[in-house]
Structure 1
Amino acid sequence: MIERRPDGSVEAELRAVEFGHRAGAGFDRLFLSAAFRSTITPDGGHTQRSRLAPPGDTARGLWLALDHLYPGLVRDFGAADLMIGAPECRSWMRVRAVGHRRWDVTTSGPRDIWAEIQDVAGRWRAAGESDVFRLHFDADGSQRASSPNGALTWQLSPGETGDSR
C-alpha cells in the first residue's frame, strides 16, 4: 500500500521475504563464486568462541536490514555452516556450532562481518524483530526505511527504489 500525505511525502510498506533481501542486481550478489569459496579454509582466519547465536533463516527483517546497512555481503546458501563473504574486500566469516549454545566464529579479511551481523541483530531486536518496514519518500527527495517503532532505520539510495533523482 502506498500513501501520499498532505505535505507531499509518500509512504509505503516493505516486507522482508525469503531470499528477497538481496538489493541490487547481478548474479555475483546472490552466490559466492567457486574461486572465492576456495579461499575459505578450515584453518584460515581468526577463530573465536561465541555464545551469541547466528541469525536464523527466518530472521528475514534482520537479513534485509543487514543488506542495506552493511552492503556487499553474500551468503553461501550451499554451505553446511553459516558462511558469508564480502568479495570486494576478500573478507569472509564462517559460524559453526560446537556444542549447546556455543559457536566457533572464524573471520578473515579487513571487515569483521560477525560484528556487523551482531550490530544489526541488536538493532533488529530493539525494533521488535520486525519483518515489515515503512518506506518514506519525503518531499525533499530523501528516502529511508524504518521499523514500525523507529528503532531500526536506514537511508535508501536512489537506485534501490527505482527513482532516478
Structure 2
Amino acid sequence: MSYTVQRIPSTLVRLLAPRGRLLVHVTTASPSWPGLAVVERTAQGTVRGALRAVEFAHRAGHGVDRIWLTEELRHRIATEPGTRRFASARDMPSVGDRGFWLAADHLLSGLVRDFGAEHLAIGAPGCGSWLRTVPVGPGWEVAADGPRDIWAELQGLADRWREAGSPHCYRLDITEDGCQRVSSPCGALAWQLPVPRPVAEGVIS
C-alpha cells in the first residue's frame, strides 16, 4: 500500500539504482493540495527531482498529523456574516492552478479548503480563521473572520507565484546531508521540506 509523506524517504533515495525512478506523494498536514515527487538517479549517479501539483494523493503515512475542517467550522464558514466583509477586484488563481495551491499548502501552513462549498472557502482549524468568497461581476465578494487575514495571505502569495512564472511543476533538490528544497524553475519561489522526525526502529525514513 502507498502513503503520502511530508518529505522523500532518504532510504528510498539511497536505494535508487542508476536510471531508477521513485514516485512519492508529498503533502503537509492539510489534505487539500498534494504534490507528486518524481526522483531519478541518472546513469552517472546524480539524483534529480521534481515536485508536481496533483489533484489526489494516497492516505497519510506514518507520522503525518492531519488537520481537518470540523462540522462546526464548516457551518460557520457557510452561514456566519464574518467580521470582515468587502468587495475585491483582485484576480485569484483558479482550482485548476494547482501549482499555486501546492505552494500555498507549504508556504501558508494550516489552511484547509472546503471542496464541498460552491465557491472558494478556506478555514484555518488551528485558530478558527476562515474565508468565504462569491464571484460578483469581474471580482469577488469576500467574508472572513478570525486572527488570520487569509485573503491577504493568498493574494500576497499569488503575486509571488505569478512573478515566478505561474509554475505548475517545481524543482526538487535533495542534497547528501538530507536537505530537500523545492523551488520554481526561476528560483524566485522556494521552500524546504521538513526535516525528518525520529522514528521507531524498523520504519523507513
Q: Same fold (TM over 0.5)?
A: yes
1:28-75 alpha-carbon deviations (Å, 9 max, x no partner): 44xx22111122234222011111122201110000000000111100
Q: Of the candidates 48, 53, 57, which is equivalent to residue 91 of structure 2? A: 53
Say whether 1:95 aligns with 2:133. Answer: yes
Runs of 4+ in 1 over 6 A off after TM superposition: none
1:109-134 alpha-carbon deviations (Å, 9 max, x no partner): 01111111112111111111111101
| Number of residue pairs the alignment of both structures matches | 158
Decide which moves more: 39-48 or 118-127. 39-48
Query: Which ranges in structure 2 are unaligned for 5 or more consecutive residues?
Result: 1-38, 198-202
Pair 83,44 (structure 1): closer, same or farther in 2 beyond 3 Å: same
CA distance in 2, matches of 1:102, 1:163: 48
The letter for the 2-side match of 1:77 is F
Pair 159,106 (structure 1): closer, same or farther in 2 beyond 3 Å: farther
Q: CA deviation at 1:163?
A: 8.2
Say whether 1:131 aligns with 2:165. Answer: no
Report what 2:13 is aligned to. Answer: none
Report what 1:145 is aligned to. Answer: 182
Determine which structure has greater relative contact order: mean sequence separation of CA pairs < 8 Å that are 6+ residues apart, divided by chain length.
1
CA distance in 2, matches of 1:18, 1:37: 21
Query: Percent identical across equivalent pairs?
Result: 50
The letter for the 2-side match of 1:39 is R
The letter for the 1-side match of 2:103 is A
Report what 2:10 is aligned to. Answer: none
1:91-111 alpha-carbon deviations (Å, 9 max, x no partner): 000111122x12111111011
Contact 1:3–1:11 under 8 Å retained in 2 = yes
Q: CA RMSD in A?
A: 2.8
Report the structure number with the largest CA radius of gyration.
Answer: 2
Contact 1:61–1:129 under 8 Å retained in 2 = yes
Decide which moves more: 69-78 or 137-146. 137-146
Pair 3,149 (structure 1): closer, same or farther in 2 beyond 3 Å: farther
